[in-house]
Amino acid sequence: MSVSTPDKAATVEFRSLRREFGATVALDGLDLTVRPGEFLALLGPSGCGKTTALRMLAGFEHPDSGAVLVDGEDVTRVPAHRRDAGMVFQSYSLFPHLDAVDNVAFGLRMRKVRTGERRARAAELLDLVGLGDKGERFPHQLSGGQQQRVALARALALRPRVLLLDEPLSALDAKVRLSLREEIRRLQQELGITTLFVTHDQEEALSIADRVAVMRAGQLEQCAEPAELYGRPATAFVAEFVGTMSRIPGTVKDDRVEVLGQRLPFDGQAPGAGEVDVLVRPEAVRVRADGSGTATVVATAFLGAVVRVTVRLADGTEAKADLPAHEAAELGAGSAATVSLPERPVLVAERARE
């Protein structure tokens, strides 16, 4: 296909990036490598430095120390307009005085491409994002989703080596967000372009990225494929940030952890013998109606395929469990129940102080 981009996708490396804004440390020694053609999501709570990292790659921020490398070449001092990185912004960033075609062709105009040629390429790119018939529209005549599509086409117009997406979906409503993120993924795979995607929405990150890098307080917490990140989180922070996690108190004794009356093996290092919290996903928690059980159902929420049941354990901690609808039928709020875990290794973390 003629719109295809780089013959060879680029590698991006962040090397011990550090950046302070006054008293706050936005990046505290970030090391991260993005593989060629990879779709990498930068995920983290607000203020974790993910946007700062992206803006450093775009050339809008400069590190206090450290380096940004594209294909092994240090671009830390290269000005933004020579970075060869297409960017889609969080806020609507189309030029209000230009129609869709001219917006997409803006970069080509800056490169002094002839009028006919650049309009043809712009039209081609608009077709690619499914807006071939909206070329004459001005930004204020387009919906939010359409504006972001045009912005995407604009970012791809110069055949950049890297595509940067700074929470491009966060201003859109749920339905548009879903369809556009699938579209972004499709385009990215079609073009094979190295892509960085900043988001604070873990579902979004897990569903479209090849790998997800979870950041916290300016540092990389874990970078792994979605399934691994979800199934085997490296730290308690990742475990609780990605997906839903319940903490159930347990005790570590001889390489096993005692929890809910069961003795289970655990992954990784224990934070020390004695009192710990066992981290469990709701789909791994089993709840059975049991008149003599010590746990009490606090609430149930119907989520479609499953029912999320919140139970209060004997010691007062609350745990969440996802059950098939037919199993949850007899678990009304207030009924007694027994909670158990499957015989699989679990994740343990230091006891949370409350």
Partner 1 sequence: MARRLNLWRWAVLGLAALYFLIPMAASVLFTVDVPGEGVTFDAYTQIVSADGFLSSLLLSLELAVATIAVVLLLTVPAVVALRLSAPRLRPVVEIVCSLPLVVPPIAFVAGIVTVLKWGPDHLSRTPLFETFVAVQNPDFPVVLVIAYVVMALPFVYRALDAGLRAVDVRTLVEAARSCGASWPQALVRAVLPNLRGALLNASFLTLALVLGEFTVARLLGFEPFAVWIYDVGGSQAQMSVAVSVLSLLVTWALLLALAGAGGRDRTASSRG
Instruction: Determine, following the binding rule CB under 8 A, whether residue 145 of this chain makes contact with partner 1.
Output: no
Minimum gap (Å) between residue 114 Cβ and partner 1:
16
User: For the chain, what is the radius of gyration of the CA atoms?
Assistant: 24
DSSP string, 89-143: -SS--S-TTS-HHHHHHHHHHHTT--HHHHHHHHHHHHHHTT-GGGTT--GGGS-
Distance (Å) of CA 145 to CA 89, 151, 175, 205, 296: 13, 10, 10, 19, 45
Minimum gap (Å) between residue 240 Cβ and partner 1:
33
Please select the residue that binds partner 1; options are 8, 74, 80, 342, rule is CB under 8 A.
80
Nearest Cα to Cα of residue 157 among 125, 123, 189: 125
Minimum gap (Å) between residue 180 Cβ and partner 1:
18
CB 57 within 8 Å of CB 73 = no
- Hey, what are 28's tokens? 């505290």
Helix, strand, coil shares of the chain as percentages rounded to 5? 30, 35, 40
CB of 139 or CB of 218, closer to partner 1: 139
Minimum gap (Å) between residue 121 Cβ and partner 1:
13
Distance from C-alpha of 200 to C-alpha of 214, rounded to nearest angstrom: 10
User: Which string of b and e fits 34-51 if b means at least 16 CB within 10 Å?
Assistant: beebbbbbbbbeeebbbb
Minimum gap (Å) between residue 120 Cβ and partner 1:
18
Which region among 75-83, 193-201, 284-292, 319-327 touches partner 1 (by CB under 8 A)? 75-83
Q: What are the beta bridge partners of residue 323?
A: 307
Window 83-142: residues binding partner 1 (CB under 8 A)? 83, 85-87, 89, 91, 93-98, 106-107, 109-111, 138-141
Instruction: Determine, following the binding rule CB under 8 A, whether residue 77 of this chain makes contact with partner 1.
Output: no
**What is the three-class DSSP state of 320?**
strand
CB of 156 or CB of 348, closer to partner 1: 156
Residue window 236-275: x/- pattern of binding to partner 1, with contact defined by CB under 8 A: ----------------------------------------
Q: 251: how many CB neighbours lie within 10 A of its CB?
A: 15
Residue window 27-66: x/- pattern of binding to partner 1, with contact defined by CB under 8 A: -------------------------------xxx------
Residue window 147-176: x/- pattern of binding to partner 1, with contact defined by CB under 8 A: ----x--xx-xx-----x------------
Residues contributing to the site for partner 1 (CB under 8 A): 58-60, 79-83, 85-87, 89, 91, 93-98, 106-107, 109-111, 138-141, 151, 154-155, 157-158, 164
